[in-house]
Amino acid sequence: MQKRKLGNIGLEVSELGFGCMSLNFLDGKGLDKKDAITLLHNAVERGVTFFDTAEAYGPYTNEEIVGEALQPYRKDVVIATKFGCKDASPAVGLDSRPETIRAVTEASLKRLKTDYIDLLYQHRVDPNVPIEDVAGTVKDLIKEGKVKYFGLSEASVTTIRRAHSVQPVSALQSEYSLFWREPENEIIPTLEELGIGFVPFSPLGKGFLTGIINKKLEDVDRRNIIPRFSEENIKANLVLVDALSEIAQQKNVTTAQLALSWLLAQKPWIVPIPATTKLHRLEENMASTNIVLTADELAKIDTMVNGITLVGDRYPEFLEKQIDRS
């Protein structure tokens, strides 16, 4: 697998990363610890070097799994984790006070079984703490050798610029896919101007773009709180999957592979982090890096998607309120 650079100060990762949240957190099922560790080992052995976790996933247990799994490969991989949720729970609220950032970082280091975090994100922008204080705290942690690079998640253009002026931001992590293209309006041009990498989470639309979601989700599935995943909205939004399937069949690829290769084609500093709990899906995702979309094919996809109006908000109300719109 090829490498891509995130930001201008040295962070280099595999062109496709691994979103670890679903290992034990997303659909109410997850994997047992042994199977999760085996899957992460398979990812490393196949060339993935970039792994994304957070204290809020579990909470805490996801970092423990990632730490144990990647310890044998520590020098060869990049681990990203996050601070910023009160009591490690987005539902409780936000907390990016400097003392909290330091406490969370120390706890994450222990769970991850490492003495440094490669990429430390602010999980969500805390309106009660100036972003300059947040960036300054991470800057100090970088000077101390506990963190290597600074990242933001779901931050606005204004916040990105303010943070970047204090401590260079290497990566922004936000949702971006053929299921959610809002970042194209302001975020991507700003990142390009400032030399900041982009890490799209949910690059497969939280699984929707795989084409396997076509009916009501199981009751234990955490995606049930997302309006776009109501039974009614799933049925309405399948028009997007049907359209992508037609193009994918012409390319002899899956809709998931088409969606990932489309993302990779947007900018050379975009690194998606698809999640999976299955080895065959991991291999399917990785194969997307070998797919070349022509200019005509990319134009066809854009025209097709722009003609479809998707229904349903991407977050429930309490999470929507935590999106930085400054």
CATH number at residue 141: 3.20.20.100
Q: What is the chain's mean pLDDT, rounded?
A: 96
How far is 56 from 84, CA to CA, in rounded Å? 9
Q: Which residue has the higher pLDDT, 266 or 27?
A: 266
Are the beta carbons of 256 and 284 closer than 8 angstroms? yes
Please tell me whether the overall predicted TM-score, pTM, comes out greater than 0.85 for this model: yes
* pLDDT, position 222: 84
| Residue 242 lies inside a defined structural domain of this protein | no
Q: Is the peptide bond before 59 cis (omega within 30 degrees of 0)?
A: yes
Determine phi and psi for 250, rounding to 5 degrees: -65, -30
Q: 37 is in which domain, residue-wise?
A: 3-206+267-290
Closest CA to 197 of 176, 228, 166, 220: 176
List 57, 121, 149, 176, catalytic entry: 57
Q: Is the pLDDT of residue 230 over 80?
A: yes
Q: How confident is the model at residue 25 (pLDDT cuts 50, 70, 90)?
A: confident
| Residue 221 lies inside a defined structural domain of this protein | no
Q: Is the pLDDT of residue 73 over 80?
A: yes
Active site residue 57: yes
Q: Is the peptide bond before 274 cis (omega within 30 degrees of 0)?
A: no
Return the percentage of the chain with pLDDT > 70, whole number: 99
- Exposure of 259 by Cβ count < 10 A (0-12 exposed, 13-18 middle, 19+ buried)? buried
Tokens standing for residue 52:
């994304």
Average pLDDT over residues 157-184: 98
Closest CA to 53 of 75, 82, 32, 26: 82
Q: How confident is the model at residue 221 (pLDDT cuts 50, 70, 90)?
A: confident
How far is 265 from 104, CA to CA, in rounded Å? 35
| Residue 146 lies inside a defined structural domain of this protein | yes
| Residue 233 lies inside a defined structural domain of this protein | no
pLDDT tens-digit map of 182-213: 999 999 999 999 999 999 999 999 999 999 99
Q: Is the pLDDT of residue 219 over 90?
A: no
Q: How confident is the model at residue 30 (pLDDT cuts 50, 70, 90)?
A: confident
| Residue 225 lies inside a defined structural domain of this protein | no
| Residue 201 lies inside a defined structural domain of this protein | yes
* pLDDT, position 71: 98
pLDDT tens-digit map of 240-257: 999 999 999 999 999 999
Q: How many domains does the chain have?
A: 1
Q: Is the pLDDT of residue 135 over 90?
A: yes
| Residue 117 lies inside a defined structural domain of this protein | yes
* pLDDT, position 28: 58
pLDDT tens-digit map of 260-312: 999 999 999 999 999 999 999 999 999 999 999 999 999 999 999 999 999 99
Among 24-33, 97-106, 138-147, which is the least confidently predicted range?
Answer: 24-33
| Residue 173 lies inside a defined structural domain of this protein | yes
Average pLDDT over residues 93-105: 98
* pLDDT, position 220: 83
